[in-house]
Structure 1
Amino acid sequence: MIARLAGTLAETAADTAVVDVNGVGYLVLASAKTLDSLGPVGGSVTLLTELQVREDSMTLFAFGSAGEREAFRQLTNVQGVGGRLALAILSILSPEELARAVSAGDKAMVGRANGVGPKLAARITMELQGKLGAPALAAAAGTAAPRGGAAQDALSALANLGFKPAEATAAVAAANDELGPGATLDALVRLALRKAAK
């Protein structure tokens, strides 16, 4: 599995780029937003990637942030959304805008992407309810998402208990602020549960 590429930007096209990593050129597909952020050809770049293996092809998708990669993964889990269509959506909407549109049930916003009709936009907004990552929803809500091991694990624990991402993020952020950076996972989860119950 190729999870990350760091090298020199060799070339770009409408929806692809080639990254030279120690003499090997990796062709990656990326959203317009990621391609716009790469800078000039010849510059150094670091991209997160997702490798999709099909019967007849291997395709490497590239992302400028973990939030974009997570949104891509969630989108491609929706029936009828392939990798290229997910990139088309992420070319129009940032992960935060997508999270906001899904949480508000805004089918028209999702339907702005090329190739997304009304039925597919409705399916995307329905199936992704509560599934987009806490960092994206927190950014959409204006709340700083907790970072780091214990905080991230606490977010995951609350999500597994059935809390919505926005609720989990707010509770863990409040617990993290109260307990400080050295808090253990156990303490964070206990306090976050108390805060979420209020």
Structure 2
Amino acid sequence: MLSRFLLYGCTGWVLEVLFTGAGSALKRDRSATARTYLWMHPIYGGTALALEEVSARLKPLPRPLRALAYTALIFGAEYGTGWVLKKLLGRCPWDYSPHRWSVHGLIRLDYAPAWYLTALLFEPVRDALLHVTSEALRHTPEYREAEEAGILPEGALPEGTPEEAGVVARRFEHAQSESASLH
């Protein structure tokens, strides 16, 4: 879970830098200045893990409908974490107050199309990250040792069912922690 949290946080950072850099370029900033905040890594990582859980529960629904639910969760996470940061720091690192469609300066409703697009991309991005990390996992000493010891749970790595990869990854992590506690 920690590895997915870290990957999701970094992916969020990259997307935010691309989004803010493109926005600067469109405003004729020739250097296409981009920005993000250190706070955003855990926010993106935690939100994506929550999206994994929601995704598993909404699997029977059509993808565009799931993306609407993800968009609501993203807005909720942005508002909630912004509110907490405002209480802790005295201000939210992002301040949308000057914008017309701002809600308490913490979210911008006019960003709904961008968040919906992000939500539509969540599952393919998750599946790609899980595939890449699963391939990398196969080459780790821990995986080879678990395989040799016969303690890999059945389906320990996603094979053809990426939507269940998060569940499979948790099974492997659980088997690893059980193995560690036995030694």
The TM-score with structure 1 as length reference comes to: 0.31
Looking at secondary structure, tell me which structure has more strand per residue: 1
Greater relative contact order structure (CA < 8 Å, 6+ sep): 2
Looking at secondary structure, tell me which structure has more helix per residue: 2
The TM-score with structure 2 as length reference comes to: 0.32
